Each structure stands twice: as C-alpha cells, then as structure tokens.
Structure 1
Amino acid sequence: MGAIKIKPEFLSFGAEVKRLRLAAGLSQQQLADLVHVTRSYVAQVESGRTRCRRDFALRLDRALKSGVALVVAWDELLESIKSDKYPEFFANFPKAEQSATMLRAYEERVVHGLFQIEAYARILLNDDDALKNRLRRQEVLNRNPVPAVTVVMDETVLYREVGGKEVMKEQLEFLIQLSEREKTNIQIAPIQYIRNVWATFVIATLPDLRQVVYTAKAYGGETSSAPDDVALVNETMSALQAEALNVKDSRALIRRVIDEKWS
C-alpha cells in the first residue's frame, strides 16, 4: 500500500498544535488528558493525519492557554480547503458572518447571540472563552459599513427568564435601543404554529451576493451554501416575517413586557 497523502493544510495546523503544546511544557498524553481524548488522537492531529472539529480547536486553546490561536488557525485551514472536495456544509460560518453585508436570523428560545448583553450571555455560556468569542462576534454590529440585520424572535424569548429580573430588563431595554438603529430590524413572532419552522437559523449574504446559512442542531450546528438549503431557509424566513409583528409594534410589545413583567 502507498503512503497516506497528508494535506499540507492539516500538516500546518498540526505543527501549530505541537508548537503550542511544547511551549506549554506538556507531553501528548498530558494534553490528551486535559482535553479528554486519547494520546493517539492528539498524535494524529499533530501529524496532520486527521482534521479535528472547530470545538476541539477551542478546547485545545483553553488547555494550552493560547487565547484563540488554534481556533484562528482552524478557521484559516478551513478557508483554504473549503473549495476542495469537502461538502459545502463545512463552509466557515463565523467568517461569513463577519464579512456579510446582510444578516437575517430567527431565534425561538433566547435572545439572538449578536444582541445579547454580557450579563445575559454569561448566564447562557458559563465559560469565559466562549463569552469572549460571543462578545467578539458582536463587533460586526459596529463595523463600517454596518451590515443590515433583521432578526425575528419568538415572543416567548421576552418572557423566558435568564439571569433574573434586572438582567432581563437590561437585555430587553437593549433590544429596544438596537431596534432604533437605522439598519437593525427586530421583529417579534406571536406564539403560534408557523409552517416549516423547526429550528433557529442565520442567513449571511456576502458582498458578492452569495448566501451561507447556519442552522442550529441538537448537537452543534450545520453550515451550508447549497442552493436547495439556502432556498428553503429563505422561504422560511419570508414566512416568519409575514407572521411577525412589524418593527414598530414589536418595539411596543417589548416595552410592554418590560413594564409588566421585568420592572
């Protein structure tokens, strides 16, 4: 049998893992113990013989106290290979989000991630690195030029307590502030059945008008730029906006919920 061909991108990522591990003074076994995998798996990643998941890169960064060095390296790896023979759902949504000219989303349980205040996000994430990543993502709202952002949220989001009354009041007040921005639209969907709405999602429209969609799953999420997937999510978004309150009425509802429940 011939030698296994290792992609140079995998080799480069693995070399960075090894460099940071050695800088931290850890053996492969010690690192494996910290991230709860086998030593052989760490060896495979370092040798470029396997491509780990992004959440594993984040776990490595935490264990090695390397900030987001390996997450950034993983994103760069994926950017370089996503045009190869990998399925389209491996496309990198975080980068798509940061470069988008328009973002549209639906949330059914909690406030949309880009709109969460720190106190609210901290309750949900309960992890300093994840919180920093969440807050870093939100910088897109202050980018110049700022993207057009439209988010439909289920009405139950306004009533579901996260962090106590003070946190909820501050969070909903912030939603009102955001909704008054020129390019930010927040709509509330009444509590009712809406056909074909089964999961939360985000649609990112890129400068070249390509679209990438991210759909939440029970275990992580899936990113796709496949035409059928993009068309389905766009259709779902249209249905949601048709049923949701307009921006002005949504703002009035948020204010009423603050006054009646969280003040």
Structure 2
Amino acid sequence: MAPKRHSTLQFWGRELATARERCGLSQDALAQRMYVSPSLVAMWETGRRTPKAEDLTRCEEIVGSNGYLSRLLSELVSRDVPQQWMGKWIEVESRATTLLSFQPTVIDGLLQTEDYARAMLEDDDLVQVRMERQRVLGDGEPPMLVVVLPEYVLRQQVGTATVMREQMLHLAEIARQPRVVVQVVPPDASASAKFTGPFVVASFDGGNEVAYVDNQLRGEVVERPDDVAQLRQVFELFRSDALSKRQSIELIEKVADQWATS
C-alpha cells in the first residue's frame, strides 16, 4: 500500500504548489509568512510530509484556497490511503440497515451531485467511485440514511454558485425520500461548539454496529462496541439540536434560492 500513499500525497502536494504559484509566492516566501522552514514547505509539496492542521489553516489563508486544500486532504488523501478500510466500508454500506452520518465540513458523499464531487476531488476516477457508491440508496432494500450537518456546510462554496444551487436542490429532493432524513444544525445551537470530525455509524440486522471515522490524516473502520456506542451518543447529541426533517428541507430550498442570486 505504500506506493499508493506516496502517489496520492504527491498529488495533494502538487495542488498546494499550484495554489502557491497562483498567488505569486515562492517556497521561501510562503515559508517566511508561515514561520516554518522552506525545506518543510518543499516536503509538503513533494508528498513527503503533510502539514499540521494549524499550519494548513494558515497556509490556506495565505494562498486564498478557501478550504480546498483541507477538503482535498480529507476527502482524497484520507480516504485513498487506507484502501483496505475504505473497501471494507463500501461493503458495510451495502449490508447496513441504518446509516447515521455526521458531516461537519461537506455534504455526505452519498448525497453529492457529480459536479459537487468533481469540484472537491478533481479526479474523474474518484468521482466515479463516489457516484457508484450512491447506488446503495437505490437498491431493492436501501438502508435508512440519517445525515446531520451544520448549516454552514450549505453555505460553504464548493465549485461555482451554480454547482451549489444544484447541490442544494438535489439534497432537498433526496431528503424527501421516505428512507432518507437530512437534519441541519443551526449555527446558534449549543451542539455547534462540540462538533467533531466526520463519522458514520452503520447498523445491521441483529443489532451489530460498526463506524467509520475520518479526519485529516486517517480514515478507519471502528468495530469496538464501546467506541461505536460513544459515537452513536455523540450523533444523538448533535441531532437533538438539529431542525426537523421538514424544517431542514425548507432551509435547504431557501439556501438554494440564495445561491441562485449569488
């Protein structure tokens, strides 16, 4: 698996280099503004190291990438590195009776439009994989999908305003399906201060549960019952502060109209 990891990190590093060059900065200049060594920036751009979260945030402020590099690292690198875990999770999705998904940064992959996914991943092969995964919602006995996400995910631009409007309309449409629930957490909800990274809890016939936990550096299938139970409790805490299904759909449609005039 090591060669695959190296190739993926190199891809992310090239995207960082492109963003840096676009704003007219050399590696030395970026390093100076970030208070890190030029050699560290070089290692990021060649895929030999990944930046700490605080360094990545500062870097994005400087190069003006508006969260793209963070999303790419999370969605492309984290999900592509542990192939054995991601492959296992795709199998989990196909067998689950219920999926509880908390997504604090982007629309859940099972609910993304192709254009939204492409704006995030910028890789046709990865986009195709994501679109294929969505078939689980259209199969004979799809799982019950419950997605909780903060309101700012609806307002955070991925791609163009048109891409965002179409994504909102798609989200509202699919959220009306009887086996899909999308609930939005308002920014003034008390749970907002407690948000963690993205995770999904899957339940099966017989009561067994597993979870998929994702962060900037790693994605992992979690099977220890105590850990899965803790994630479920966190999910229910966030969901308790969310709008109802109907209220969430109304808000999503309102945001779609706002994107139409952006």
The two structures have a TM-score, normalised by structure 2, of 0.65
Question: Which residue of structure 2 aligns with residue 175 of structure 1?
Answer: 171
Contact 1:148 1:184 in 2 (8 A): yes
Partner SS, residue 92 of structure 1: helix
Post-superposition Cα deviations, 1:159-202, rounded to whole Å, max 9, x if no partner, equal 11111111111100001111110110000011144265311110
Question: Which residue of structure 2 aligns with residue 243 of structure 1?
Answer: 241
CA shift for structure 1 position 240: 1.1
CA shift for structure 1 position 208: 3.0
1:101 maps to 2:90? no
Distance in 2 between residues matched to 1:258 and 1:118, nearest whole Å: 17
Question: Which residue of structure 2 aligns with residue 135 of structure 1?
Answer: 131
- CA RMSD in angstroms, aligned pairs only: 2.8
Contact 2:148 2:185 in 1 (8 A): yes
1:252 maps to 2:256? no
User: After superposition, where does 1:221-232 map in structure 2 within 5 Å?
Assistant: 221-232=219-230
Q: 2:140 aligns with which of 139, 144, 149?
A: 144
What is the one-letter code of the residue matched to 2:206? D
CA shift for structure 1 position 91: 9.4
Inter-CA distance 56–196: structure 2 relative to 1 (3 Å threshold): closer
Inter-CA distance 118–227: structure 2 relative to 1 (3 Å threshold): same
Distance in 1 between residues matched to 2:259 and 2:186, nearest whole Å: 17
Distance in 2 between residues matched to 1:144 and 1:128, nearest whole Å: 27
Question: Which residue of structure 2 aligns with residue 201 of structure 1?
Answer: 199
Inter-CA distance 253–55: structure 2 relative to 1 (3 Å threshold): closer
Partner SS, residue 91 of structure 2: helix
Q: How many residue pairs are counted as aligned between the two chains? A: 189
Inter-CA distance 139–234: structure 2 relative to 1 (3 Å threshold): same
Partner SS, residue 141 of structure 2: coil
Post-superposition Cα deviations, 1:34-80, rounded to whole Å, max 9, x if no partner, equal 9599xxxxxxxxxxxxxxx99469xxxxxxxxxxxxx6xx58xxxxx
Structure 1 unaligned residues grouped into runs of 5+: 1-13, 15-30, 38-52, 58-70, 76-89
Distance in 2 between residues matched to 1:35 and 1:213, nearest whole Å: 27
CA shift for structure 1 position 216: 1.2
Distance in 2 between residues matched to 1:91 and 1:259, nearest whole Å: 37
Normalized per residue, which structure has more helix? Answer: 2
Post-superposition Cα deviations, 1:101-151, rounded to whole Å, max 9, x if no partner, equal 111101111111100000000011111221111111111010111111100
Partner SS, residue 102 of structure 2: strand
Question: Which residue of structure 1 aligns with residue 106 of structure 2?
Answer: 110
Contact 1:93 1:212 in 2 (8 A): no
Question: Which residue of structure 2 aligns with residue 220 of structure 1?
Answer: 218
Distance in 2 between residues matched to 1:153 and 1:162, nearest whole Å: 16
Partner SS, residue 195 of structure 2: coil
Structure 2 unaligned residues grouped into runs of 5+: 10-77
CA shift for structure 1 position 207: 2.6
CA shift for structure 1 position 218: 1.4
Percent identity over the alignment is 30
